[in-house]
Structure 1
């Protein structure tokens, strides 16, 4: 049997098993184990052990539970809720001010969390009821919360980027730096969209009441203090790392410790809060570890049969595709997969094939693999919110007030999917948007 046929069977088997709805890591591991046994016999029993030891040697993974812990501690201690109250008052005078404030709230939450789920939960529980109560259009604000929540995987400290960096063997810090400008650019594009829509149709976002607009400046300044703690934690954590005073792991520890101290300073730290946060952290971290372990075992078999080189020859030599055409096809395949799979499943499926192939392409782009990591991460944003199976859609249905139906959720998301795709096109045309900052910081 040819290498191409073996590779095709491995991919087909993995996708088929994933359609059963079982755990992603179990399906990946099952295909890796079956392929290894059929190709190499009993000697392949050492494959998962070698993958496990390789996993344990990657110190970047130690940051994962610390960042997850920090995000959950900030969310569950109510600090994010205070942020919304601040945004509500300071952005209230603008057209669509609460919606604009919610977008920038999501930027701040992203900068202290690294996950889209936390931003979605906070936005659904706090922002949606407030805006509905003030007469905002439910389709508009549902899209704002869902679109804004996706920024959590693009801005540092993105947990998805940690996963990509480990599998692609790239510096996490470079990926984080590369995600800053694309993330801020996307937030600005979202804000322009909301502002223009409300200007054209003011009924979508009524203005604040006279009582709210007349709040004294002293009261507004008191609310402004709510944003100080998250910003200080982010600046302290990222600043110490970028200036070289701490390692990545030490910066993650600084962030987790600072979040705990902030909750204590607010008088909200309790054993129940610590227990709930620790359980969430262990659950998410263990899931990521198992997924990476399965991906490593799968990649070992895939690389061992020479399938990557064979598929590279098909794309470049047999089909005579240009490097940019290959990248465009990759992005299209990401978007299609994003309609049915989550980010970890997408990465595991494409990593053995796409990552070595991108490394072999001559695109003339500095930090080419870092740039591709940003493209992948941005496509993951589409995976979170694209019908039919984007799981943020179903999370939103479970978390949103009863006035918002599943039809409203599906109608709300298409403008934001198109805006993300537009931003991806900009990053492909102007790679410097992503690559300039890491190059500048590295000198």
Structure 2
């Protein structure tokens, strides 16, 4: 059997295992380890062990549990809820103001947590009932929450970009900086859409009534403003100090985790229940990601040994005659198709060993490509029939929000994401300006 057929068989086997509902790390690790043993005998068993050593020696991996803990501490202690209450009062008088505030909240949650599921949980439990109660169009606001929560994998500290950096062997600090402007660009596109839609049809997002506005005193507004300053200050301590060069990547994560605990303690919310819940969820998610990285390293090592990357390069460029840009577009389309059935980590593990070396060989910047991959994952999350965010929203939303509503809500936001992706492809400096500014060659 040729090496090309072996690589194809590995990909096919992995896809089948994932579609049967197996855990991502189990399927990936099994295929990688089994293939290495079948190809190279007993010596092939060294590949998984070598991958584990690479993982344990990767110092930036310390940021993973610390950032996850920071996000859960802010969520479990109710500090993230305070931020939404602030947006609710200060932006409620505008048509669509609560929806705009929700997008801003999602950006803030993303900057605190790095996971899209956290934004989705807070959006559906806090923002969605408030907006439904005030007569907002349910189709529009479910789209707002899904699109806004997807920013969690783009805005630093993005856990997905940490995984990409580990598997692609690219500096996480540069990837995080590359995600800042694209994340803000998408957020601005979402806000612009809400403003225009609610301007044309105010019934989609009615403002707070005069009675509600007058019932809140100036002192209460100032108190809520102060409550919202705490999470924003924590975000600055994490990303601001890092970008100013005061702290390193790992130090920033430690500062964020400590600041979240101190804030919860200062507000009298650091109970044993909150701490136990935050630690339990942090351990669960961190272990999941570490197993995935370990399995991905083993799987990728087998691909490197097969020379599959070179075979794919010959197929695309010589046999199919695609231009470098044609190859790039084809890769993004393949992510959207796979994203209908798989989550971002599974997609990354399957194609990273093939795509990333090819991207580098074609002369594209791997940091820029990491942003393209992440934006495309956001699109795939919201693409029927099996987009990850669609079913997450259905599981968390009230009964009056049907699956038909959820499917219909994502159309304008997916369109906006595709526009954003096109802008980043056309103008790479949107993603590369900050990395080149802080890490000049």
Give, in whole Å, the separation in 1 of the partners of 2:386 and 2:289. 20
- After the TM superposition, which residues 32-431 of structure 1 pair with which residues of structure 2 at under 5 Å, given as runs? 32-214=32-214, 215-363=216-364, 368-431=365-428
CA distance in structure 2 between the partners assigned to 1:226 and 1:110 by the alignment: 18
**How far apart are residue 392 of structure 1 and its match?**
2.1
Q: CA deviation at 1:295?
A: 0.8
What is the distance in 1 between the residues matched to 2:61 and 2:381?
A: 23
Q: CA deviation at 1:223?
A: 1.2
For 2:14 and 2:30, the matched residues in 1 are separated by 8
Q: Does the 8 Å CA contact 2:304/2:353 hold for their aligned counterparts? A: yes
Aligned residues of 1:60 and 1:166 also touching (Cα < 8 A): no
Deviation at 1:93, TM superposition (A): 2.1
TM-score normalized by structure 1?
0.97
Q: What CA distance in whole angstroms lies between the structure 2 residues aligned with 1:257 and 1:388?
A: 41
What CA distance in whole angstroms lies between the structure 1 residues aligned with 2:270 and 2:389?
29
TM-superposed deviation, 1:268 = 0.6
Structure 2 unmatched ranges of 5 or more:
none
In the alignment, structure 1 segments of 5+ residues that lack a partner are: none
Structure 2: how far apart are the matches of 1:142 and 1:345? 26
Q: How far apart are 1:105 and its partner, in Å?
A: 1.1
Q: Distance in 1 between matches of 2:88 and 2:245?
A: 37
- 1:45 deviates by 1.5
TM-score by length of 2: 0.97
- The equivalent residue for 2:435 is 438
- Note the aligned Cα RMSD (angstroms): 1.2
Cα displacement (A) at 1:240:
2.3
* TM superposition shift of 1:394: 1.8
| Partner Cα distance (1:360, 1:291) in 2 | 26
Distance (whole Å) between structure 1 residues aligned to residue 243 and residue 103 of structure 2 = 26
User: How many pairs are equivalent?
Assistant: 439
Query: What CA distance in whole angstroms lies between the structure 2 residues aligned with 1:355 and 1:27?
Result: 21
Question: SS of the counterpart of 1:35?
Answer: helix
Cα distance in 2 between the residues matched to 1:435 and 1:245: 21
3-state DSSP of counterpart to 1:26:
helix
